[in-house]
Amino acid sequence: MDKIPVIIDCDPGLDDALMLMLAHGSGRFDIRAVTISAGKQTQAKTLQNALKILTLIGATDIPVHHGAEKPLLRDLVVSNDVHGESGLDGPSLPIPEMQAQPVSAVEGIASILSASETPITIAATGPLTNIATFLLAYPQLKSKIERISLMGGGIFRGNMTPLAEFNIYTDPEAAAIVFRAGVPITMCGLDVTHKALVFQKDIDLFRALGNQAGQVAADLMDFFSIFYRENRVELNGGAAMHDPCAIAWLMNPGIFTTKSCYVDVETKGELTSGATVVDFYNTLHKEPNATVAYDIDRDAFLDMLFNAIKALP
């Protein structure tokens, strides 16, 4: 099977780290670059975290590009809940054996797309600042994007406010630019990621793999679970594997339940700023601009994650 050429934009991030393990370990992707967004932690920290994870999983040949320091119009508000002070608390990680490229995420994406004869997929699992900046700076390269598969938003729920999910809430103006760009989008929001759960018995299986990546994956999941067990009791001890969903959909969309919907982003609402407004029942009769995932075969998803991590050092 041909590998899927992909650029991954992320803000590691515990579940971003697991997403990188899935992408690399699956062997299904030709990862042309990893570009870094600032999210719950600063650009400096998320960049270091990406370099550490790529070193751990033996992917030091993948070019890494630093990205925007802050959202397009707003201040970056870092927080230490969920992912900890480093953005990747929990496991012990190697010192990076690689360095970031001298050129920025936007320039990196532009040169990869310009040089490619075939369109390239973008997987995005952080705030969409880099992708929006790229789309504004290089509209002529839009046709070189096969699709953007992103983790963000929600049809019926939020996690930063009642209706806004973190990645969209952090930079809603960027998200609005991306959803309005006319590029095919897959949206894996909280509706589906809160069904992509790992429980303690699953975490134990990752640890029992015996390789370094399995140990680190289990440690990341353990740390992530602390927040979920305290703050998302409705998930019955499960921790949501948000970011790996954006990669899993590219590997096998058949394990997801999706609907084509028109999606826009609220940038001003007093109560709803940063919410994805998903026209699930097509009340507006607008052309759908996104494939919105809202359910997943959890066992098949876990198998994917398990097999990928098993294949890593």
Of the pair 110, 164, the CB lying nearest ligand BDR is at 164
Residue nearest to Ca ion (CB): 13
User: Binding partner of residue 146 among Ca ion, ligand BDR, none, CB under 5 to 8 Å per kind?
Assistant: none
65, 83, 242, 285: the active-site residue: 242
Which residue in the set 6, 8, 13, 194 belongs to the binding site for ligand BDR (CB under 6 A)? 13
242 is catalytic: yes
Binding status of residue 126 toward Ca ion by CB under 5 A: yes
> Minimum distance between the CB of residue 14 and ligand BDR, rounded to whole angstroms?
7
Which residue in the set 125, 149, 267, 289 belongs to the binding site for ligand BDR (CB under 6 A)? 125
User: Binding partner of residue 82 among Ca ion, ligand BDR, none, CB under 5 to 8 Å per kind?
Assistant: ligand BDR
> Minimum distance between the CB of residue 16 and ligand BDR, rounded to whole angstroms?
5
User: Binding partner of residue 32 among ligand BDR, Ca ion, none, CB under 5 to 8 Å per kind?
Assistant: none
Residues 166-205 interacting with ligand BDR (rule: CB under 6 A): 166-167
Transcribe the chain into DSSP letters.
Answer: -PPEEEEEEE---HHHHHHHHHHHHTS-EEEEEEEE--SSS-HHHHHHHHHHHHHHTT-TTS-EE---SS-SSS------TTT-TTSS-SS--PPPSS---SS-HHHHHHHHHHH-SS-EEEEE-S-SHHHHHHHHH-GGGGGGEEEEEEE---SS--SSSSSB-HHHHH-HHHHHHHHTS-S-EEEE-HHHHTTSEE-HHHHHHHHHT-SHHHHHHHHHHHHHHHHHHHH-GGGTT-EE-TTHHHHHHHH-GGGEEEEEE-EEE-SS-TTTTTBEEE-TT-SS-PPP-EEEEEEE-HHHHHHHHHHHHHT--
Which residue in the set 28, 40, 65, 147 belongs to the binding site for ligand BDR (CB under 6 A)? 40
Enumerate the active-site residues.
Answer: 242
Q: Which residues bind Ca ion (CB under 5 A)?
A: 11, 13, 16, 125-126, 243
* Residues of the shown chain interacting with ligand BDR in the complex, contacts defined by CB under 6 A: 13, 15-16, 40, 82, 125-126, 151, 159, 165-167, 242-243
